[in-house]
Structure 1
Amino acid sequence: MTEHTGQVRGALTRERLVRSAAAEFALHGYDGTSLSRVCKAAGATMGALTFHYPSKASLAQAVCTAGIRATQARVDEADRKGQGPLQSVGKITGALAELLSADAVARAAARLSREQPPLAMDWRGSWLPLVRTRLHQAEVLDLLRPGARPESAALMVGSLVAAVEAGLLPQLGGALLPSPTVEEHFAELWQTALQGIGASQDSPVSAS
């Protein structure tokens, strides 16, 4: 086996382990995650796991790093689609809702960074500063209602995203919300929130 082949196999093994671990961390949290289940789902031995990730903490950090990178890429893409600061915030938060509902790595990064401060991984830091910046720009441009403060609006956005991350929207959907997907639920909530903070509504937003 050539060195290059070994490197490729190693990279594929790491990717499988991260994906499998993400599913575990997202569902069970750090303490509830079983490394044996991670290995079984990844089709890898415990020796392979400890070779690449000597501890559960190092595996969790790898998952967080992957989730933060994926989130930053999605957020940057969504921000470029915005045609104004408030629409950019809507695009960003809609993209986050879609990512959290579809990607276990992002969900795991969000949960681990919230539940495990010792990991020193900040998933919210991959998107919240940009949201704050856009909201401050909206204030400068008189796009916020009188009395609506950017920091309060950012807190509201953070709460909406936290609801998606915690899985609250799917639980509420059947009884209270008519839309069939988390993304559509979130778009409805954002439009309602925008009526409260925006001096004049941007055009409807979505993650697409």
Structure 2
Amino acid sequence: MKKVLLVALVTGFSSMAQASNDYAGIRIGAGATTGMKVDGLGTLKAQPKIEFGYDFNRIFSVNGSLMRFDGEHNQISSKALYGGKADGYDARIEGEIGYAFNIADGWDLKPYAALGGAHVSGSIESHNVGLLVALPSGTQNNIDSYSGNFSGNYLTTAAGLRLTTPVGIYADARVQSLYMTANQEVRTPVKENAQFGFTVGFKF
């Protein structure tokens, strides 16, 4: 009886290991992220991104992504034109843990959590220009402008859900957060906040 039980346990663990190994592979996808906030510009519209990942098994994975972002905002009041623009890159790498459940023949659904880091860099311009029409004749415009570069490394977390189809096409939806120390936050126009991302790609 003990031998039968031992054989059953070994067979069960072997089957689980084989199924886990069968899930291993590379992922490549493209999509968009929305919710990024920048000083003077507010919340940016959806920004394009590419991503890659590797699944070691059904539990552990590593993910990387590169997002190109840009935005511009100008507002006119009775006394001034003010606004600005920014552009740059957000590169991330994260470790992921979860479990890919087989919900149907060849269909896998993985809820997951991820922890990693981001390098965010770019340039920003801001301006506050007084309009001539709002000033007495012969008065000079008031111009307050700034331009410069920014760069920093920050902690990231994410929680998401990834559906993989029998033909290898996958869809991934996630909520991700960017965290900064007080010292980091005063050195960059990018704000600490939560973002939403969606990606479609192929798992090899």
Fold conserved (TM > 0.5)?
Answer: no
TM range (shorter): under 0.3
Q: Which is richer in strand? A: 2
Q: Which has the higher contact order (CA 8 A, sep 6+)?
A: 1
TM-score by length of 1: 0.27
TM-score by length of 2: 0.27
Q: Which is richer in helix? A: 1
- CA radius of gyration, larger in: 2
